[in-house]
Amino acid sequence: MSLLTDLVNLNLSESTEKIIAEYIWVGGSGLDIRSKARTLPGPVSDPAKLPKWNYDGSSTDQAPGEDSEVILYPQAIFRDPFRRGSNILVICDVYTPAGEPLPSSYRYNAAKIFSHPEVAAEEPWYGIEQEYTLLQKDINWPLGWPVGGFPGQQGPYYCGIGADKAYGRDIVDAHYKACLYAGINISGINGEVMPGQWEFQVGPSVGISAGDEIWAARYILERITEIAGAVVSFDPKPIPGDWNGAGAHTNYSTKSMREDGGFEIIKKAIEKLGLKHKEHIAAYGKGNERRLTGKHETADINTFSWGVANRGASVRVGRETEKEGKGYFEDRRPASNMDPYIVTSMIAETTILWKP
C-alpha cells in the first residue's frame, strides 16, 4: 500500500506531459499570500503564454460579494520545489474583469516606474535583507523560547550555532535550498540578534524582479513552515521590550552609482530620500513605529540620517563604497512586512525621476 508521502512525491513525467502550475497572489491585507493550482497541457517557461485565471475576491477582501470575480495575470515563473519536475510557481498580479488593476495590485504601479526610460537606463539593482521570526504554532511565541518565559538576553544568537542559540535552522536551510532550486537569486541566510529570528537575502535583482523574487521566497517560506508545523511572522516588532525588531533593509544602486564618481550620485540620491522621508516611512510597512525607535540598530522614525558604516542611521553607506568612490547604499527603514514592489519602485522614483 502506498504511503501518503509516496503519492505526494509522484513523478508526473513518468506518466503524463501535463504539469501543475501554482498561481500565487497577495490578498487584501497586503501580506496574506494566497495560491491555487491548475493543470496545464505541458511545460511553460514564458509567463505571457500562461492563461489568465480568476478567483473569489470577496473571500480575500478584494471585491464585493455581488461582483466578486478577480482576474489573475501571470507575471513571473519559478520552478516548484515542492512538486518538482516541470511544475511551476506563478507570481500573479490582480485585476478587475474590465482589466483595471486592483488598488492592492502594487506590481502594476511598480512596473510603470521600472519601465520608464530614465529608470531603465539606470539599471537599478536591489539586494533585500528579509528578516522574519519563527513562532511556535498555536501560542504565537518565538521558536525555542520557553512557553510563557524568555530566553537569555541578546548577544549569543546573531549568527550563532548550537541547540541553545539557533532555533529553526532546519526550516531555514530547507528554505535556502528550495529558493535556489526555484531560481530565486537568494544570496545568503543568517541567524539574527533575537533568538528565533532569521534573515535571508535576495539579490542583486534588477528592477521589478526584486519584488517578484521576494514574494516567491516568502511563499516558499510559508509553505515550509506549514510543513514543519511552525508559523512565520513578518511583524516588525513581534516581541515588545528589549528585543530587536525585524526589518527588510534594502540595498540599492544605479548604473551611475556603480561607475567612477558614483559616490557623488549616491550622496545626491540620499539627500532626495531625506527630503521625502515622511512619504517613504508611510509606505515602508505597518507597525514600523514600534521598530524604528532609535534603539536596537535603528534610527528614530521621525528623523532622517545617514552615515558611513552607521547601523543606527536611516541610510547606511558601506566603508568600501566610500573608499572606492562608487557602489551602493542601504535604506534601513523598511519594515519586514513591507511590500517589495512599493519600496523598490519608490526608491527608484525618488532618486531617479523626482526633481526637487
3-state secondary structure 282-293: HHCCCCHHHCCE
pLDDT recorded at residue 8: 87
pLDDT recorded at residue 2: 66
Give the containing element (helix H, strand E) for 84: none
Distance set, CA 118 to CA 113, 256, 270 (Å) = 9, 12, 18
Strands 19-26 and 315-317: unpaired
Helix (H, G, I), strand (E, B) or coil at 317: strand
Listed residue (104, 118, 110) closest to 33, CA to CA: 104
Give the containing element (helix H, strand E) for 224: helix 209-228
pLDDT recorded at residue 309: 85
DSSP 66: G
Count how many residues are written for the chain: 356
pLDDT recorded at residue 6: 87
Strands 125-136 and 141-142: antiparallel
Single pTM value for the model: 0.96
Residue matched to cell numbers 539557533: 166
Distance set, CA 349 to CA 18, 104, 122, 156, 215 (Å) = 42, 19, 12, 40, 21
Domains by residue range for the chain, with CATH: 4-104 (3.10.20.70), 117-353 (3.30.590.10)
Per-residue cell: 349: 522614483
Per-residue pLDDT of the chain (356 residues; tens, 9 = 90+): 568 888 888 889 889 999 999 999 999 999 899 999 999 999 999 999 999 999 999 999 999 888 899 999 999 999 999 999 999 999 999 999 999 999 989 999 999 999 999 999 999 999 999 999 999 999 999 999 999 899 999 999 999 999 999 999 999 999 999 999 999 999 999 999 999 999 999 999 999 999 999 999 999 999 999 999 999 999 999 999 999 999 999 999 999 999 999 999 999 999 999 999 999 999 999 999 999 999 988 999 999 999 998 888 999 999 999 999 999 999 999 999 999 999 999 999 999 999 98
Give the containing element (helix H, strand E) for 333: none
